[in-house]
Amino acid sequence: MTPRNGAKYLRYAELADVFLRMDDASVAVVYQHLPRKNRDDFFAETSGKVRKSLSAQEIFVVSDNTIAFFVVPKSPGTAKAARPVLVSYAREHELRFWEAEGSVSGIADVMSRLMGR
């Protein structure tokens, strides 16, 4: 998105407007510099806000511990196709993959699979 009026932040309502106009094969990707707080807490908190704003079913995060990309597929089918690509990319580039499944056990499970444990 191109910033309007010199703004450099994307508001949840603006993201929701774009998300509503996307077709089912689309994926929204939001770039975020990470604050100095626990990553799992931040990913869960932000994913919760995104989920509420967009009524999104699945949200993935790929992060290098400095920045994060919140990846929000429009449909379950697109999420199913996007997930293995993101996992593979994260593994190949030694990035963190985080999946908002609504539970901490889901996060731990994804991290274990990525680490080969």
Q: Read off the pLDDT of residues 21-58 as tens digits, 9 standing for 90 and up.
A: 999 999 999 999 999 999 999 999 999 999 999 999 89
Residue 1 lies in a domain: no
Q: Look at residue 10 in the predicted model and tell me its pLDDT.
A: 87
Domain count, the chain: 1
Residue 38 lies in a domain: yes
Whether pLDDT at 82 is above 80: yes
Note the pLDDT of residue 106: 45
Residue 5 lies in a domain: no
Q: What is the mean pLDDT of residues 82-88?
A: 97
Sign of the C-alpha dihedral computed for residues 110, 112, 113 and 114 taken in this order:
positive
Q: Count the Cβ atoms, other than its own, within 10 Å of residue 24.
A: 10
Residue 113 has pLDDT above 80, yes or no: no
Residue 6 lies in a domain: no
Torsion of CA 31, 109, 81, 78, to 10 degrees: -60
Residue that wins the pLDDT comparison between 81 and 111: 81
Q: Structural domain of residue 23, as residue ranges?
A: 12-114
Confidence band of 111 (pLDDT split at 50, 70, 90): low
Q: Would residue 46 count as lying in a domain?
A: yes
For residues 28 and 101, which has the higher predicted lDDT (pLDDT)? Answer: 28
User: Has residue 4 been placed in a domain?
Assistant: no
* Distance of alpha carbon 44 from alpha carbon 68, whole angstroms: 13
**Backbone dihedral region for residue 64 (phi beyond 0: left; psi -120 to 50: alpha; all else: beta):** alpha
Mean pLDDT calculated for residue range 75-102: 93
The residues facing 28 across adjacent strands are: 72
Main-chain dihedrals φ then ψ at residue 60, nearest 5 degrees? -115, 150
